[in-house]
């Protein structure tokens, strides 16, 4: 579904992705973790073209990024992206947020889009917030609207960029619960997160990145209980200390 082959990327002189080779199978859930600045966000932002790669191959849903034949705008409709800062449209209600792209990009009739929008908001536990503006919602609620906004496009792939890092602790689990639900329905997911509980529960694989390179991959159990490299051990000891 997603395949990186020898992908490199630079920000100016900074080598942010170093020879990444990695693939994600359909219905697989992969958690990406690593210290800040290790390139994990950049990695998943490349998949929907929010960042471009310098060399190597990146094939998403059978289409090679950067090819003339690949229509990025079209490909992006198949890829949901959940941001750390939610990025809901502040001038739109929750329901308008989740129906905007289905109506204008997918060209779904308004009535139909609104019906499935209501259904999706109810599914993420916001059945009573259709007409609320983002500023009237808590962080956790906003992030759940953002997830519903992606799901309404019926994507094949969902990418999450630190979806719970901007949340107050008591709101993290409500968002993770929704993500677990999405994973259990068989969505192909790549999730940048340090939430080990989530990784253990639904991830088939954990990818550990440091300084722009993939240092270690393994099942959540292998990785969290028996990390293979010094760098992953050092990282885990920091996030597990408290």
Residues that bind another protein (CB under 8 A): 48-50, 73-74, 76-77, 79-81, 83, 85, 87-91, 100-101, 104-105, 133-136, 149-150, 153
Closer of 83 and 223 to another protein (Cβ): 83
State in angstroms the smallest separation of the CB of 197 from another protein.
Answer: 26
* Residue given tokens 């889009």 in the structure block: 113
State in angstroms the smallest separation of the CB of 240 from another protein.
Answer: 31
Closer of 152 and 172 to another protein (Cβ): 152
Bridge partners of 4, per DSSP, are 22, 58
Closer of 14 and 105 to another protein (Cβ): 105
State in angstroms the smallest separation of the CB of 134 from another protein.
Answer: 6
State in angstroms the smallest separation of the CB of 69 from another protein.
Answer: 17
Residue 35 CA: distances (Å) to CA of 30, 31, 32, 81, 216: 17, 14, 10, 21, 13
Q: Exposure of 78 by Cβ count < 10 A (0-12 exposed, 13-18 middle, 19+ buried)?
A: middle
Closer of 24 and 150 to another protein (Cβ): 150
State in angstroms the smallest separation of the CB of 105 from another protein.
Answer: 5
Closer of 80 and 227 to another protein (Cβ): 80
Closer of 2 and 153 to another protein (Cβ): 153
Ordered DSSP codes for 21-72:
EEEE-TT-EEEEE-STTSSHHHHHHHHTTSS--SEEEEEETTEETT-TT--H
State in angstroms the smallest separation of the CB of 155 from another protein.
Answer: 10
* E-only strand ranges, the chain: 2-11, 14-24, 29-33, 55-60, 63-64, 79-82, 157-161, 188-192, 205-210, 213-218
């Amino acid at each position: 579904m997603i395949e990186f082959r020898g992908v490199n990327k630079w920000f100016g002189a900074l080598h942010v992705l170093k020879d990444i080779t990695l693939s994600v199978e359909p219905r697989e859930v992969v958690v990406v973790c690593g210290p800040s600045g290790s390139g994990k966000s950049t990695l998943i932002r490349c998949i929907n073209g929010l960042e471009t790669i310098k060399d190597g191959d990146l094939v998403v849903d059978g289409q090679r990024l950067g090819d003339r034949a690949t229509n990025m705008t079209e490909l992006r409709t198949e890829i949901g992206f959940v941001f750390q800062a939610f990025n809901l449209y502040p001038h739109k209600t929750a329901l308008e947020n989740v129906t905007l792209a289905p109506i204008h990009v997918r060209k779904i009739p308004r009535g139909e889009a609104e019906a499935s929008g209501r259904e999706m908001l109810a599914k993420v536990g916001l059945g009573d917030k259709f007409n609320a503006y983002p500023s009237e919602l808590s962080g956790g609620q906003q992030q759940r609207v953002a997830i519903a906004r992606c799901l309404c496009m019926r994507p094949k792939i969902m990418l999450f960029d630190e979806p719970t890092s901007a949340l107050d602790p008591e709101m993290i689990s409500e968002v993770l619960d929704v993500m677990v639900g999405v994973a259990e329905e068989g969505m192909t997911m790549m999730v940048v997160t340090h939430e080990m509980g989530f990784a253990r529960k639904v991830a088939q694989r954990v990818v550990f990145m440091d300084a722009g390179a993939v240092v270690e991959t393994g099942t959540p159990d292998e990785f969290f209980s028996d990390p293979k490299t010094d760098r992953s051990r050092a990282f885990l000891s920091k996030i597990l200390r408290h």
